């Protein structure tokens, strides 16, 4: 007769074998959601980490690779919101079908011992009740795990990590995806101090990459706020992976390969640069913003790469040395000072750029379509991105070498 310890050992080894066979060995499909507009930038990032079959779809990029690729994606991607594993895709018109197909998934090889949070999104499916869909999924997963003698999955908790399972029903086609990231990837861990209207780290990195910034020339953010652009620029210039100092959900998965993860981080560190090859200037009118940038940059480990200065953009000179990139997210809000509206501010920004920064490449956030005309910049491309409930534009281009006379302000 087999005692309970022997039986448990046998079940555990059977699951370990299944993990090797069904999670470690095969090529999986992954999906990295991003802000709409950044798909081409994210696709280029994925190509640089050797993802296969990269396909842009609205709101993200799908790609293929083994489990290790998801580790690299979380470590390296600067513009993705998270990295999801596509776990199953099937057709289902009724709860019984949903139950059957869900129970077929090898959850015992995938789910960590964490509470499960289920998010349902419905797009023209026959089943219309989120709560019924969630209950059916939970029942199917519980039955499967019971049969495999795996402890039951608990309900989601407000505090602490949950395993997120995304369920998408589009015209009766069900896609089940598991999150590998945990906290969203824009939470790099460095930004504790914020100034007014900070831009998300993933958006800032996306704008820099879309403008072609690679650290091969200086960068200036003359209205740096809490320093998001300069810090992301320093991370790019030094080839520092944005996920180096944080933890991820996949580290809790039963399939986690700790040695592989350690090796990827060591390799990443070996190819970073000790310092940014060109100066990164962070300036702001407000000395509180400079203090916030300093504290954030210190936490990100890039303070030595930044040259910080409290300065008024309109009276400051261009930094000495070669032209580089100027990136800027000017204040939103309609009124700047007592008499000047934001449109006029954009007019002044445009003429200052044309007068002082000849030869510099630029990426300027434009919150209102009417401001492009006021800026009068030689635009080469434009990004349209979501930001704080608004759609913002980013005008990207290069200022001509010809210096315009600086108008009196
Ligand atoms: C929208 S915030 C920038 C947010 C920043 N990108 C971030 O992620 O934290 C605009 C910044 O412009 C600064 N500012 C406004 N007028 C300025 C001027 N004339 N010169 C320099 N900075 C200015 C404000 O102090 C504010 O920090």
Using the mean position of ligand 1's atoms as its centre, give its distance from the Cα of residue 331 in Å: 6
Measured in whole angstroms, how far is the alpha carbon of residue 96 from the centre of its chain? 37
Using the mean position of ligand 1's atoms as its centre, give its distance from the Cα of residue 223 in Å: 4
CA distance 137 to 63: 26
pLDDT at 409: 44
DSSP 388: T
364 lines ligand 1 (CB under 6 A): no
pTM here is 0.92
Domain 4-179, CATH number (from 1.10.260.40, 1.10.10.10, 3.30.930.10, 3.30.2130.30): 3.30.2130.30
CA dihedral angle for residue 58, residue 191, residue 253, residue 3, rounded to 10 degrees: -150
DSSP 162: -
Long-range CB pairs of 151-158, under 8 A, 24+ apart, other chains included = 151/113, 153/111, 153/115, 153/116, 154/114, 154/115, 154/116, 155/115, 155/116, 156/115, 156/116, 156/117, 156/118, 157/115
pLDDT at 388: 78
107 lines ligand 1 (CB under 6 A): no
Q: What is the token pair recorded at 40?
A: 């081409």
Q: What is the token pair recorded at 303?
A: 């303070």
Residue nearest to atom 5 of ligand 1 (CA): 225
pLDDT lower than 50: segments of the chain: 334-339, 408-409
CATH 3.40.50.150 occupies which residues in the chain? 201-238+275-398
- Which backbone phi and psi does 133 adopt, to 5 degrees? -65, -45
Beta-carbon contacts of 7 under 8 Å, excluding residues fewer than 6 positions away, are none
172 lines ligand 1 (CB under 6 A): no
Q: Are 179 and 233 in contact (CB under 8 A)?
A: no
Using the mean position of ligand 1's atoms as its centre, give its distance from the Cα of residue 284 in Å: 6
CA distance 242 to 182: 15
Neighbours of 321 (CB within 10 A): 10
171 lines ligand 1 (CB under 6 A): no
CATH 3.30.2130.30 occupies which residues in the chain? 4-179
CATH of domain 201-238+275-398: 3.40.50.150
pLDDT at 333: 62
Listing DSSP states for 322-383 in one string gives: S--EEEE----SSEETTTEEHHHHHHHHHHHHHHH-TT-EEEEEESSTTHHHHH---EEEEE
Which residue has tokens 């007019």? 347
201 lines ligand 1 (CB under 6 A): no
Between the alpha carbon of residue 238 and those of residues 245, 273, 299, the distances in Å are: 15, 5, 15
pLDDT at 151: 66
């Amino acid at each position: 007769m087999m005692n309970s310890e022997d039986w448990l050992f046998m079940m555990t080894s059977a699951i370990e074998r299944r993990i090797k066979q069904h999670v470690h060995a095969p090529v999986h499909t992954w999906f990295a959601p991003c802000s709409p507009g950044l798909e081409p930038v994210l696709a280029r990032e994925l190509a640089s980490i050797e993802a296969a079959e990269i396909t842009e779809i609205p709101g993200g990029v799908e790609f293929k690779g083994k489990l290790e690729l998801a580790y690299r994606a979380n470590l390296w991607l600067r513009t993705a919101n998270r990295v999801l594993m596509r776990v199953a895709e099937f057709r289902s018109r009724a709860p019984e079908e949903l139950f059957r197909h869900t129970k077929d998934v090898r959850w015992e090889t995938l789910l960590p011992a964490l509470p499960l949070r289920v998010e349902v999104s419905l797009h023209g499916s026959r089943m219309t009740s989120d709560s019924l869909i969630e209950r059916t999924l939970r029942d199917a997963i519980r039955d499967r795990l019971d049969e495999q003698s795996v402890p039951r999955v608990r309900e989601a908790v407000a505090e602490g990590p949950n395993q997120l399972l995304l369920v998408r029903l589009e015209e009766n086609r069900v896609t089940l995806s598991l999150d590998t990231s945990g906290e969203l990837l824009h939470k790099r861990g460095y930004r504790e101090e914020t100034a007014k209207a900070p831009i998300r780290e993933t958006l800032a990195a996306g704008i820099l990459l879309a403008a072609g910034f690679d650290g091969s020339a200086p960068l200036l953010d003359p209205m740096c706020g809490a320093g998001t652009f300069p810090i992301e620029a320093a991370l790019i210039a030094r080839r520092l992976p944005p996920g180096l100092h944080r933890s991820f959900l996949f580290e809790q998965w039963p399939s986690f390969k700790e040695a592989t993860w350690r090796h990827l981080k060591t390799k990443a560190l070996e190819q970073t640069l000790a310092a940014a090859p060109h100066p990164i200037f962070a300036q702001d009118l407000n000395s509180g913003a400079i203090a916030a940038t300093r504290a954030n940059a210190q936490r990100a480990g890039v303070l030595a790469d930044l040259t910080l200065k409290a300065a008024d953009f309109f009276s400051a000179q261009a930094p000495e040395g070669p032209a580089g990139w100027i990136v800027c997210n000017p204040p939103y809000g309609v009124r700047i000072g007592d008499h000047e509206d934001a449109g006029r501010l954009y007019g002044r920004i445009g003429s200052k750029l044309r007068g002082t920064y000849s030869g510099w490449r630029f990426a300027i956030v434009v919150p209102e379509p009417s401001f492009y005309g006021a800026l009068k910049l030689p635009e080469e491309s434009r990004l349209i991105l979501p930001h704080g409930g608004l759609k913002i534009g980013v005008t990207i281009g290069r200022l001509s070498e010809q210096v315009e006379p600086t108008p009196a302000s």
